[in-house]
Structure 1
């Protein structure tokens, strides 16, 4: 169980998934090697068990990185099991690369939100109600 964030690049900036027209599609973000390097630069120590899956474990918690099969890549899915401390650097990372990060549960783009960690906090509150679920930092 994780808070899932879809990262991609569009032809323009959106604030909500409902704004995306049927003629829009994700643009190339970079080669697999470039994307893995960008992930590893932000999430130092990220490991790659195979070309399409990376894992990071740090003080704020863990993030799994699922890369699309395309090369160049057109999307990344982040599977976040971490505290809100992970959100700000992740948003800075997206902005630096011209990418957008959408919280899949709400359909909002995090870097356009006044409270980008709100979706993570809502997910954590939900997770904490489920018996036996691990409590991340």
Structure 2
């Protein structure tokens, strides 16, 4: 079970996916090689042994970085697992380096900062309430 955040090039001035025009098509993030380089700049410890599916590990959390095979890369999905707030700065670090905005797939909101991640806190609460202690 993960909290999913989509990274995409979305212009400023929009706060949620519902505010985007129906015909909105985000421009590509960039060529696959340039995206890999940007990810390594943002998080030097990223494991990109599989250049289509990276992993960032931290204390008590992990982020799977689904880049895909498309070239150019249109979007990136982050699958965040674990707890606490330490993973949130990584989301914004990666998004900033790529020139993207993070979209919380739970709430449909474009995240402005780590302080606006209600979906992350809601995800943890939901997960902790539905996953039995012996299933973790």
TM-score, normalised by the number of residues in structure 1: 0.83
State how many pairs are aligned.
Answer: 132
Structure 2 unaligned blocks of 5 or more: none
1:37 aligns with 2:21: no
Structure 1 unaligned blocks of 5 or more: none
Within 1, Cα distance between the matches of 2:41 and 2:135?
Answer: 30
Within 1, Cα distance between the matches of 2:33 and 2:114?
Answer: 32
Within 1, Cα distance between the matches of 2:48 and 2:114?
Answer: 33
Map of 1:38-117 to 2, 5 A cutoff? 38-82=38-82, 83-111=84-112, 115-117=115-117
Task: Indicate the RMSD between aligned Cα atoms, in angstroms.
Answer: 2.0
1:70 deviates by: 1.9
1:29 touches 1:72 (CA, 8 Å); kept in 2?
yes
Within 1, Cα distance between the matches of 2:65 and 2:114?
Answer: 25
1:114 deviates by: 8.0
Within 1, Cα distance between the matches of 2:102 and 2:72?
Answer: 18
1:101 deviates by: 0.5
Alignment-derived partner of residue 18 in structure 1: 18
1:96 deviates by: 4.7
1:116 deviates by: 2.4
Within 2, Cα distance between the matches of 1:121 and 1:55?
Answer: 21
Structure 1 stretches of 4+ moved >4 Å: none
1:127 touches 1:133 (CA, 8 Å); kept in 2?
no
Write out per-residue CA displacement over residues 71-93 of structure 1, whole angstroms, 9 at most, x where no aligned residue: 11110000001431221342244
1:87 touches 1:116 (CA, 8 Å); kept in 2?
no
User: Which has the larger strand fraction?
Assistant: 1
Write out per-residue CA displacement over residues 21-80 of structure 1, whole angstroms, 9 at most, x where no aligned residue: 122112111111221222222333221242311111122510001113321111000000
